[in-house]
Amino acid sequence: MKLGVLTGGGDCPGLNAVIRAVVKKAINDYDMSVIGFRDGYEGMILNNYITLDRKSVSGILSLGGTILGTSNRADPFNFPIMQKEEYIYLDRSSELVTNYERLGLDAIIAIGGDGTMAASARVAELGVNIVGVPKTIDNDLFGTDQTFGFDSAVVTATDAIDKIHTTAQSHHRVMIVEVMGRYAGWLAMASGLAGGGDIILIPEIPYDIDEVCNKIKERNRRGKNFSIVVIGEGAKPLGGKMVVSKIVENSPDVIRLGGISNQLAQQIEVLTHLECRVTILGHLVRGGSPTPFDRLLGTYFGCEAVRLASEKRYGRLVVLKGSDIDSIPLVDVAGKIRKVPFDSQMIQSALSLGISLGVATDQISMLMKETEKAEAVATE
Ligand code: F6P
């Protein structure tokens, strides 16, 4: 058999661990050959690929990023091309299929997030055999208990929060740390809990600014004259909107979030008269070496993807269920986002520890349901 592998969407630590596992298992266990497309589906459309052998994946396990390159603009059905300084969009899926057939490929291992999986589900309908592998620091891919890349991002964000803690204490300030995560609060919740945040604000729970300030004031009354606020980039105030930092016209999801913490800092300073500082971690959490957990998860995912391909079980996404590696149909995942649920360990533990989630505790469940409903209507 001959496999093609590609990495799509935003990068994250652990992608190289998957590529390495795919190549090694394919060669060692099945005597398959493997090629790697550059920059996600773009490489398949442009026939831009490299041969992957044992040598090409040697020494990459601990490397961040992806040796294949990636793109979050390579939707084969809506592919951007610059013409006279403007982008036009073309359906180039047939070129992708032609290259797949011409190269004599039996299957594609597509490593990516929701955008890549949505595109993969459509590519599969054209007769391309696909097995998906879920990545993202956001941990928001539907159907898997965890994506690889998330653990590494949590470690980086937690380290940053630990460092912010000491300067917050020295200066008696309110320090706000904003983390990525898009429309889900997994990264903010996990790093906020692990880093000992006092207030954690996530997209799933619109926050009440008075509640946030009351928590800070209450801490000061108890002699705790500093506070750490961890906020997900997709968080928004009650009745307010997410802060969009950039529109990327030629990307499947054009919205880039970021900057809500600046708005929050201004309001906190006005309402509490305390000094506030903002740190936006941004892409820092996507960089660096993968944690041992992500190296292991990536390795297990990569091996399972090749096993599924060897059994011709195509159109599936490899997932983590509890401590087991399993798989589900790709079509079940397309267009869905996994959010932090109210009954999760994360939310329940935060509440038990007295961490403020930005609204009165008895309103959280109701607000989460309302937010979910409003978002469902907005996407219909
Ligand atoms: O999906 C991963 C992610 O890092 C999100 O957390 C963030 O909103 C987005 O990608 C940033 O995208 P870009 O790399 O295009 O700025």
pLDDT of residue 380: 67
Ligand 1 geometric centre to CA of 4 (Å) = 25
How far apart are the C-alpha atoms of 350 and 184, rounded to whole Å? Answer: 16
- Give per-residue pLDDT as tens, 171-214: 999 999 999 999 999 999 999 999 999 999 999 999 999 999 99
**Least-confidence region, from 99-103, 348-352, 371-375:** 371-375
Would you please indicate which residues are annotated as catalytic (active-site) residues? 138
pLDDT of residue 73: 87
Which residue, among 52, 82, 55, has the nearest Cα to 68 in the 3D structure?
52
Report which of residues 167 and 84 the model is more confident about.
Answer: 167
Ligand 1 geometric centre to CA of 246 (Å) = 11
- Ligand 1 pocket, mutate which of 137, 179, 183, 246 (most atoms under 8 A from CB): 137
CB-based contacts of 233, cutoff 8 Å, min separation 6? 178, 179, 180, 181, 182, 242, 243, 257, 258, 259, 260
Does the Cβ of 181 fall within 6 Å of ligand 1?
yes
Does the Cβ of 139 fall within 6 Å of ligand 1?
no
Ligand 1 geometric centre to CA of 144 (Å) = 19
Q: Which atom of ligand 1 is nearest to the CA of 181?
A: 6
Ligand 1 geometric centre to CA of 343 (Å) = 27
Does the Cβ of 340 fall within 6 Å of ligand 1?
no
pLDDT of residue 267: 98
pLDDT of residue 16: 98
For residue 303, give the 3-state DSSP assignment.
helix
- Give per-residue pLDDT as tens, 264-306: 999 999 999 999 999 999 999 999 999 999 999 999 999 999 9
Q: Is 13 within 8 Å of 74 (Cβ atoms)?
A: no
Amino acid at residue number 50: I
Q: Which atom of ligand 1 is nearest to the CA of 140?
A: 1
- Ligand 1 pocket, mutate which of 72, 135, 180, 244 (most atoms under 8 A from CB): 180
Question: Is the pLDDT score of 26 beyond 90?
Answer: yes
Compute how many other C-beta atoms are within 10 angstroms of the C-beta atom of residue 369.
Answer: 11
Domains and their CATH numbers in the chain: 2-148+290-332 (3.40.50.450), 154-286+339-364 (3.40.50.460)
Mean pLDDT, range 77-84, rounded to an integer: 90
| Average of per-residue pLDDT values in the chain | 96
